[in-house]
């Protein structure tokens, strides 16, 4: 099953990076392959955890696929967990962890594993998905620089 992980030091605080990744409605503006994202349901708990159910449409050339996932935004622990619910995958698991390294720095850890339901779709989109995941860290860091400004 394909997977990708990355840990990256960034020049922005862990809470700022969490907020940036948690702002899923903005993904179509800067996330590779993300054509649209619609939050269908939003639930908040008293413990600072928010759960979203969202549809994300990814597109590349003539291929366009929409999938539904449950996104758990755990602000107290600075983690985001994405669980696959429906769409072209047989499995998808995605996790973000944000570790503070001072006021203006953090380590952002990203992990994703996935498997397409269809072999044909896996052949068509597999290599492109791998390339996109490798660009995710750059896209989020560039977005953080745009939103929060660059530090020294």
Share of the chain above pLDDT 70, in %: 97
Considering only residues 9 and 59, tell me which one the structure prediction assigns the higher pLDDT.
9
What does the mean pLDDT of the chain come to?
A: 90
Is the predicted pLDDT of residue 2 greater than 90, yes or no? no
pTM score of the predicted model: 0.90
Structure tokens at 78: 């600075």
DSSP strand E in 1-146: where? 3-10, 34-44, 49-60, 63-74, 79-86, 89-100, 106-116
Structure tokens at 111: 């992990």
Alpha-carbon distance of 95 to 110, in angstroms, equals 6
Residue 30 C-alpha from the chain's centroid: 11
Cross-strand bridge partners of residue 39:
54
Alpha-carbon distance of 34 to 50, in angstroms, equals 22
CATH architecture designation of domain 3-148 = 2-Layer Sandwich (3.30)
pLDDT in tens, 102-149: 888 999 999 999 888 888 777 777 677 777 777 888 899 999 999 998
């Amino acid at each position: 099953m394909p997977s990708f992980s990355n840990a990256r030091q960034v020049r922005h605080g862990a809470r700022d990076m969490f907020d940036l990744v948690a702002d899923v409605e903005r993904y179509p503006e800067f996330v590779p392959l993300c054509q649209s994202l619609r939050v269908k349901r939003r639930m908040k708990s008293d413990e600072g955890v928010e759960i979203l159910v969202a549809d994300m449409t990814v597109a590349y050339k003539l291929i366009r696929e929409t999938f539904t996932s449950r996104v758990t935004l755990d602000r107290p622990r600075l983690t985001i967990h994405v669980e696959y619910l429906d769409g072209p995958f047989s499995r998808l698991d995605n996790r973000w962890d944000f570790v503070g390294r001072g006021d203006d720095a953090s380590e952002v850890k990203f992990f994703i594993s996935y498997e397409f339901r269809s072999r044909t779709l896996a052949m068509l989109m597999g290599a492109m998905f791998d390339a996109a995941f490798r660009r995710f860290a750059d896209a989020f860091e560039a977005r953080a620089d745009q939103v929060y400004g660059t530090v020294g």
